[in-house]
A and B are shown apart, each in its own frame.
Chain A
């Protein structure tokens, strides 16, 4: 995999995270380039999810600094940061109700942006008034992606988003992600699937489980 140097969108500087007495991240320093997909790989417990949560401040480190576009995330308004850096979780977390209601959670008054977000997530526009209870796992996960895209994020954190999907659904999700990167979005993609990593990643960050 070739690595083209570009300005990092996200940087971690000497980050330490301890949970229940165990070092999850031990003095981690890393950077994620703008407009590229960086895959984060490593065994269970290596701190992959924790790393994503630090970037959009759902968690905070015990020490060290996380920067977004050069600014310490602790100095940014977390609500603004989370709209600029969207996150898709491992398990689809659709809210009860229709797809439209889900998109409205991200931006209640921006009906116009829903069409764009659905297209970017490779979803049929006719799906907008369907109840999420009737959707497949793959469709649900892309609804979650679309919901995140409604806020027009500059960066996306994807936490093993295809781990519960079949191959076809995963391929659709990957294609949607690649097309977002083509339009300048930065993606940090946690995956333990080696072949997926080969397919989608521009860069790779390998994490090890701390003893």
Chain B
């Protein structure tokens, strides 16, 4: 376990970063100090609340409540990052909820992990945190693709294809873009970088073989979650661009905004 003195010593590394910034006149010293303090305070707060939530005598429902809070907050962050995607807040909420049910269902339903505050909260956190960027990317790409290829979308509609068929090539392209980075990360895991969960477990004294198993499950969890959330968001965002009678709404229609 790390002692408080050890933690304080590690701040020396931030000092090196500040020193480089000062030496090269990057003017990032203040940013580095603020970022480090903010991170420390946030982690302390989360750690404190987590200690309460996942304490052994605490009901598991507190953990699920925490997960629901994470899903809600992540949906809000996603919506703020991509305001051009109509209704993204609700789409992302639906996507994270579906992904939570699917991934937690597999991991706990098949007894991969025991249902416990110590497993529910971190696993859901991994799922939500890692899917958020891909979700935002998928939503943005759908809007861009359909906006850019508007002529082709309308040409398909004019042939009597329904809006789902007219949007399909562009939804597919958006999903490929959103999923590819995670696939690349998965490919590189273990060779190019050692992921955080595994590194943390090994540092905490867990047998590397056990740490590898946990990490593999986490990577599968993230892949499944990214695929689920991006699909829900891409299909949902695409459907928002069409009327029920298969007309393409204007992409810049202000009424589409949240």
A residues contacting B by CB (< 8 A) are 56-60, 78-80, 82-83, 86-87, 89, 91, 93, 95, 105-106, 144, 147-148, 151
List of B residues within 8 angstroms of A95 by Cβ: 152, 155-156, 169
Task: Out of A79, A86, A106, A147, name the residue touching B162 (CB < 8 Å).
Answer: A79
CA distance in complex: A80, B158 (Å): 10
Q: Which residues of A contact B161 (CB under 8 A)?
A: 79, 105
A60 touches B247 (CB 8 A): yes
A79 touches B160 (CB 8 A): yes
B247 is contacted by which of A58, A86, A91 (Cβ under 8 Å)? A58
Q: Does B207 belong to the interface (CB within 8 Å)?
A: no
Picked from B151, B160, B245, B247, the residue with its CB within 8 Å of the CB of A89 is: B151
B159 touches A (CB below 8 Å): yes
In the bound complex, what is the Cα–Cα distance between A144 and B152 (angstroms)? 11
**What are 18 inter-chain pairs, A to B, with CB distance below 8 A?**
A57-B245, A58-B154, A58-B248, A60-B245, A78-B245, A78-B247, A79-B160, A79-B161, A82-B160, A83-B159, A83-B160, A86-B158, A89-B151, A89-B155, A93-B151, A105-B161, A106-B159, A151-B160
Residue of A nearest to B159 (CB): A106
Excluding A79-B160, A82-B159, A86-B158, 10 further A-B contacts by CB distance (< 8 Å) are A58-B247, A78-B246, A78-B247, A82-B157, A82-B158, A89-B151, A93-B152, A105-B159, A106-B160, A151-B159
* B246, A79: Cβ atoms closer than 8 Å: yes
Query: In whole angstroms, how far apart are the Cα atoms of A60 and B154 in the complex?
Result: 14
Shortest CB distance B16–A (Å): 52
Kindly name the residue among B161, B162, B248 whose own CB sees the greatest number of chain A CB atoms within 10 A.
Answer: B161
**Minimum distance in angstroms from A83 CB to a CB of chain B:** 4
Closest Cβ–Cβ distance, residue B169 to chain A (whole Å)? 8
Q: How far is the CA of A91 from the CA of B162 in the complex (A)?
A: 22
Of B157, B160, B245, B248, the most chain A CB neighbours within 10 A belong to: B160
A106 to chain B, nearest CB (A): 5
The interface of chain B, by Cβ under 8 A from chain A, is 151-152, 154-162, 169, 245-248
Q: Find out whether the CB atom of B152 lies under 8 angstroms from the CB atom of A80.
A: no
A61-B242 Cα distance, complex, nearest whole Å:
17
Whether the pair B159, A147 counts as a contact (CB closer than 8 A) is: yes
Please tell me if the beta carbons of A57 and B159 are within 8 angstroms of each other in the complex: no
Could you say which residues of chain A place their CB within 8 Å of the CB of B245?
57, 60, 78
Closest residue of chain B to A150 (Cβ to Cβ) is B159
Q: Which residues of B contact A78 (CB under 8 A)?
A: 245-247
Give the distance to chain A from B155, nearest Cβ to Cβ, in Å.
Answer: 4
- Nearest B-chain residue to A80, judged by Cβ: B160
> Is the CB–CB distance between B157 and A58 below 8 Å?
yes
What separation, in Å, do the CA atoms of A89 and B156 have in the docked complex? 11
Q: Contacting A58 at CB < 8 Å: which of B152, B158, B162, B169?
A: B158
Residues of the B chain whose Cβ atoms lie less than 8 Å from the Cβ of A87: 158
- Report whether A93 and B155 are in contact in the complex, using a CB–CB cutoff of 8 Å: yes
Most buried by B among A56, A79, A147: A79
A57 and B160: CB pair below 8 A?
Answer: no
Q: Considering the chains assembled together, what is the distance between the CA atoms of A191 and B4 in angstroms? A: 80
Q: For residue A56, which residue of chain B has the nearest CB?
A: B158
What's the Cα separation between A93 and B166 when bound, in Å? Answer: 13
How far is the CB of B152 from the nearest CB of chain A, in Å? Answer: 5
B119, chain A: closest CB distance, angstroms: 47
Q: Is the CB of A91 within 8 A of B157?
A: no
Q: Return chain A residues, CB-CB under 8 Å to B159.
A: 82-83, 86, 105-106, 147-148, 151
Option from B155, B169, B247 in Cβ contact (under 8 Å) with A57: B247
A105 in contact with B156 (CB, 8 Å): yes
> A131 → chain B, closest Cβ, in Å?
16
CA distance A79 to B156 in the complex (A): 11
Considering only CB atoms, which chain A residue lies closest to B165 in the complex?
A105
**CB atoms of B247 and A59 under 8 A apart:** yes
Those 9 A-B pairs whose CB atoms lie nearest each other, nearest first: A83-B160, A93-B155, A87-B158, A82-B160, A106-B159, A93-B151, A79-B160, A78-B245, A78-B246
